[in-house]
Amino acid sequence: MKLLIPATLALVAVASSVDAQKYCGRDDFKVVGDYTVYNILWGEDNDKTGGQCTEVTGSTSSSVSWKTSFNWAGDNWPVKSYANAALKFQPKQVSAIKSIPTSMEYTYTYDGHIIANVAYDLFTSSSESGEVENELMVWLAALGGPWPLTDSGKPIKTVNIGGVDFDLFQGMNKKVKVFSYVAKKTAYKFSADLKKFFNELPTNNTLPQTQYLVKLEAGTEPFQGKNGEMIVKSYSSKDNDKTGGQCATVDRSSGSDIAWQTSFNWAGDNWQVKSYANAALKFDPVQISNVTSIPTTMEYTYKYDGNIITNVAYDLFTSPSIGGETAYELMVWLAALGGAWPLTTTGQPIKSVTLGGVEFNLYQGWNNKTKVFTYRQEHGHELHGRPEAVF
């Protein structure tokens, strides 16, 4: 990669905060990194005067912070809504999942009486895109005495996971078999491996390990509540690959360019970046208004066996001051192999441009408090299954 940069180069910009905005519609949602935060109002017809609004308050590369507020009356038995953060991932057979590390910390406030839970909700199917056949819930809270679906009214097992005691109930929701782990005491801070809840299902009352995990959500289901508010300080779920690795080697360098290579083996979930081998330029920061140009060249090859999900990208960061925190990130993806996807709040490009003879779509998203702009090439550079290509 060759970068020719004038002495007056600047990477300095104005700081920006998280683009927080409430959304209150029945099926409204916001995409933030690896999560989609929903404001689902599936039972609102039971209370025509009630409502709920949700707001994303922050995110990192692996977690999201959000809050929801509601007022619900009506009958005390139907769930009115389920504000939740859903993880984006490729469906995977339960038997192939090594672990699902998760953590959540939240507060819950309300006036007077409330009936609500705080729960993880995981769904499985016999195929990657088939109908849901099993549901596994993990209730961290049962505020006001809501009751899980149960055939017998009694727990079928008691377990301790993540330092929390749970009673396991089993019931049916039409054709869907539902397992509910209900915490005996409210857990406002929880960290554990969700795979353990699958492992703890009784051998005589379980789900097939060949089932695919197709959804993983976490949020709150209120039945009734006045001025209810759940503030999720931090939530994350992931499936790390502990067996992979990467190495990099510098082949040669001169005063103006460098040649290097990297090799890797990564499995795990397909939504999490595992590494970033890169060549970083050394320079003194100066303001963007003083930058006349940043000429660059790069030529590379990419080899792999089977499937791959990766990008080839420039990554530029700006700050409101020299030595300050990053406020903006600008990425230029020369390749999006295997359908890799940038951070985006809408899932749609905000602009299309041609630079250096390459067509790019521009996306905008957030990484915690950093506003991220990503130019993603759309044609002509993806491998489309070929084992090797030169760009």
* Active-site choice (55, 133, 135, 217): 135
Distance CA 172, CA 143 (A): 22
Q: Which amino acid is at 177?
A: K
* Active-site choice (55, 133, 217, 221): 221
Distance CA 155, CA 278 (A): 53
Nearest alpha-carbon partner for 287 in 313, 256, 320: 320
Contact 381, 359 (CB under 8 A): no
Nearest alpha-carbon partner for 300 in 258, 332, 331, 339: 258
Distance CA 50, CA 280 (A): 53
SS3 224: strand
Measured from the Cβ of residue 168, the count of other Cβ atoms closer than 10 Å reads: 21
Q: Is 135 a catalytic residue?
A: yes
- Report the run of H or E that residue 246 belongs to, with start and end: strand 245-253
Pairing of the two strands 296-297 and 2-3? antiparallel
Pairing of the two strands 101-125 and 189-193? antiparallel
Nearest alpha-carbon partner for 180 in 193, 162, 166: 166
Q: Which of left, alpha, beta for 101 (phi over 0: left; psi -120 to 50: alpha)?
A: beta
Alpha-carbon Rg for the chain, nearest whole angstrom, is 24
Q: Is 55 a catalytic residue?
A: no
Distance CA 27, CA 41 (A): 7
Distance CA 35, CA 40 (A): 15
Active site residues: 135, 221
